Amino acid sequence: MEKRSFMFRLFQLIGLGLLQVLILNRINLFGYVTPLFYIWMIIRFDTSMNRSAVLLWAFFLGLSIDLFSGTPGLNAASATFITMFQPAIVKLFVQLDRHDVLIPCSATMGGRSFAGYLLLMITLHHTCYFILRSIPLGDWTVLVLKIVFSTLVTFILMIVTESVTMSSGYKR
């Protein structure tokens, strides 16, 4: 991995971690909505990265959120869980040759494909996170509402972020 790429990911991990811990974790609309935006880093991992490195980045991203949120292992487990499926989910929405390098975004995947990919990744993460957080499973209605509404709010935040970054010419 080249040094610039490592430093970029490190700053991204720190920035997304701070955003999540200092701002987004404090949002709890109606007791059901908590945006979990930190997974943006996982969603944007390119297809050429070493799988072991991707899993380590995701684990440490989740662990850094856990350390400052008082959620021992929930974010680390959920982030690692979706990272395991990320390559297969990308392939669901885009046909890739063996040597193609793709950074998932609307410019490389197309708007609809990227939105589908984004929604599926967020839904998997939030389902894993809220099920682990709700153990022992009690009220299923509350669990489903938390998953659905948090997924929708996170999806909207990511679509807005994607449109802003793509319109500003940001390619990474």
Q: What pLDDT, on a 0 to 100 scale, did the predictor assign at position 1?
A: 47
pLDDT at res. 111:
87
The highest-confidence range among 30-39, 42-51, 114-123, 159-168, by mean pLDDT, is 114-123
pLDDT confidence tier of residue 139, bands split at 50, 70 and 90: confident
Contact 78, 128 (CB under 8 A): yes
Indicate left, alpha or beta for 110 from its phi (over 0: left) and psi (-120 to 50: alpha): left
First to last CA, the chain: 15
pTM of the model: 0.89
Q: Which domains does the chain have, with CATH numbers?
A: 3-167 (1.10.1760)
